[in-house]
A and B are shown apart, each in its own frame.
Chain A
Amino acid sequence: MDQNNSIQAFQGLASPPGVMTPTMPVFSPMMPYGSGLTPQPVQNTNSLSILEEQQRQQRQQQQQQQTQQLNTGLPGASGQTPQLFHSQPVPGSTTTALPGNTPLYSAPVTPMTPIAPATPASESSGIVPQLQNIVSTVNLGCKLDLKTIALRARNAEYNPKRFAAVIMRIREPRTTALIFSSGKMVCTGAKSEEQSRLAARKYARVVQKLGFPAKFLDLKIQNMVGSCDVKFPIRLEGLVLTHQQFSSYEPELFPGLIYRMIKPRIVLLIFVSGKVVLTGAKVRAEIYEAFENIYPILKGFRKTT
């Protein structure tokens, strides 16, 4: 395996998160969860359900446009292939609810467009990383009395001496939220973007039911963690020698090799068993791209050493 090719792929400037090759309009760099690119809000109401209704209507319009253009059949391994068009982040924030806004994924996509980014299908690994955890933040838009929430909610714990936030949990989707008195909330544990969004909405609804004028502003995915198994052992000592500028392997401290990929900006934990953990992504496509980048290195490296 020619190592130089793989090394060249990581040189150059780091691309902004979510940026893909120009031929892949599916993976737009826009962050529809409101990452600072959101236009001015149309309206802010106190009722969460009214806002949700508006968003649902807009999304229905977008999905109607998408279903006309997209092929629902997706290549890839069954059971592991993500429903990417459903999972693509759709405008979930009230601040993006502008009428006449161009839907993000309305660009025509042919049925034969491969989903794996930047890699021809013949060189695809055939392995799709599974998402294990999504961390998202949302602004409830009002100050909260944490003592009241801890008193009146069953699924909340609050110990101000230990941590200045209420820890709330729901069963479905199985997630945990940290709710701060400023009204900001962190939602962790979801396995997909949609689950994270649904969970955050449920937490906001609980807070609303407790009597606070909670809104649902600026939902943003902060981190995504994925994992997969290449099913062959990996010589970490060799990998750290050939990719010294990206790798860190200290068996005395941690059994895995820490690989800091520059493009996309993802951190991979590579273990001798062949299991790989990818973290630091803002969009799902970064995880896939990072894995497709590392797989030839792992595979080629295993044969040459």
Chain B
Amino acid sequence: MSASSLPFPVIVPMLRVPILKPMFLPFPFSLWPRTLLPPLFLRPTVVKFPPTPCRLTASVAVVVNPGLDRSDISYSRTTAVTRKPCVNLIQGLERVKEISRILRVRREIEELALTYYKQAYEHETFLHVTLQRKEILGGCCVLASCRQQRWPITVGTISCLLNGDPAAVGEVYQEMIKVLNIQAPTFSVTDVMEAHCQEYKVSPGHVPEELAEDSKGLTKRAIALVELAADSWIVTGRQPLPIMMAAVYLAWQSLKPNAQRLKMSLEKFCKLAKVQKSKTAGTRITEMKGMLYKLGKEIPWYKEVLTPDNVVSLVGDVLQHRFSLLRRALKSHELSLLEKCPAGQVNPSSAETSSSSDVSEDAGQTPVKSSVNAEKEKQGRDGDESLKSPSEESNPQTQELTQNWGKRVLFAPPCVVNAKRKRAERPPLHVTGDEEISDSEIESYIRTPQEARDFAMMQEKLFTSNNESS
């Protein structure tokens, strides 16, 4: 057999030596070109991988010695690479940083907020929520860390920054607090007052001199007014912004109560100070003036007729002597109550004494003697019983005082003083649950066949007319 008769090319060295003509090829089968190998040698024993539909890379091929264990290695292990952090988490952390820098918070607050965000993001409650909710979560983390570090900030500010609904922010905030199991101190109006007062551009450089007011003095007066309002139940349960605005407005007026300032309305003041007017602030101004009037009435050296409108000029005196004015106001109130209801039929409730003790104890002063005595008398009783008696019921004035305890005390939450009229309550239905159900009653809830037909016809007509119009 010569080399030319073989079906494949063979490189034969040109040597003048006798050529061996072997029956078998000299080099191993595995190195032969695949197309030339007989089918017997095409079995793929070299590369082994699990039968998964995945793209192969050069690194995938693993030579398995057929003689050893043929256990498969999972794709995730074979393609294991360093896990990258989630893109949305990175963006969320950046957003938290941005919010922190806009608010100019301390570094510790920013770092704490970032920690909270990372922890909350990876919790199952927030992992699969919408991106919008995750953005709100970032704002809530900043809010929580600001509160923990005593940095004054409101939910409204965060909502504004996020351009979101305060209710949604509140909801995410509550969830986040629960998930992270942290406690953040609640909001306090007086903490935020200083920051709020700085928004009002009424310092000497911004407005004419007669309307200008030093920022520190304005803040101090406004904080005192807010504290007095809080003692008088005007602040609790209310939105803080209108109260702050009302306090700043009254403080500004009272620091220089000239005709120009006293005539200026809230709207004009807000325009002057370049702040957005709050609609509810007007109501708060009225309430605060009412409170100041009750105290201002007791000033002994003020001889003119005092009304809630002209009390602003006395704000300084009221704040300076508030404790003694309060004592006098309580005494006067008790006397007036006794005059309205002779023979002591209406007991001044323990609420009144509590409000007096609240205010005076907040101020660190000793309680009024009369109220202390009244309180001691009442300690033996349950203070919340109904005070109706036949003589009281006959007198509508006393009846009103009895039913509405807010009218009996000097200061009460406005929602109690101006209680909404309750809609007439239905008489209670005494049933056992097992009464007979009359067929006639049930029949009254079921349409007659004619009614049902008419209803069906009407629905069909409505449906077709809707289709035509659309």
Contacts and interface: CB of A to CB of B under 8 A. Distances in A.
Nearest to A170: B445
A193 B416 CA distance: 31
Does more than half of chain A's interface fall in helix, strand or loop, or is it mixed? Answer: loop
Given A198-B437, A252-B156, 16 more contacts: A151-B455, A152-B452, A153-B445, A172-B441, A173-B429, A195-B429, A202-B441, A231-B349, A231-B384, A244-B183, A250-B170, A250-B173, A252-B170, A273-B406, A302-B354, A303-B357
A52 interface: yes
A153 B445 CA distance: 6
B382 interface: yes
Given A251-B237, A253-B166, A152 B447 contact: yes
26 contacts: A59-B434, A83-B430, A151-B447, A151-B452, A154-B444, A155-B445, A172-B441, A193-B433, A197-B433, A198-B433, A198-B434, A231-B351, A231-B405, A232-B383, A232-B405, A237-B186, A240-B186, A244-B185, A249-B186, A251-B239, A252-B155, A252-B156, A252-B170, A271-B415, A272-B413, A273-B415
Interface string A184-203: 00000001111111100110
Contacts of B362: 305
A250 B155 contact: yes
Contact of B446 (A191, A194, A209, A240): A209
B194 interface: no
Interface in A231-261: 231-237, 240-241, 244-245, 248-256
B103 interface: no
A178 B61 CA distance: 62
A61 to B, nearest CB: 13
Interface residues of B, number: 61
Interface in A67-108: 83, 86, 90, 92
Nearest to B233: A233
A90 B233 CA distance: 46
Closest 6 pairs between A and B when the two form their complex, measured CB to CB: A197-B433, A194-B433, A255-B237, A253-B170, A232-B351, A272-B237
B209 interface: no
Contacts of B447: 151-154
B233 A174 contact: no
Nearest to B384: A231
Nearest to A249: B186
A248 B394 CA distance: 44
Interface in A192-228: 192-198, 201-202, 205-206, 209-210
Contacts of B428: 191
Contacts of B405: 231-232
A56 interface: yes
B443 interface: yes
A59 B435 CA distance: 12
Given A155-B445, A205-B442, A248 B174 contact: yes
B188 interface: yes
A230 B384 contact: yes
B183 A173 contact: no
B350 interface: yes
Contacts of B434: 52, 55-56, 59, 197-198
Contacts of A154: 444-447, 451
Interface string B227-242: 0001001001111100
Nearest to B353: A303
B431 interface: yes
B111 interface: no
Contacts of B173: 250
Nearest to B350: A232
B60 interface: no
Contacts of B451: 154
B446 A172 contact: no
B236 A126 contact: no
A274 interface: yes
A126 B384 contact: yes
Interface string B390-425: 000000000000000110000011011000000000
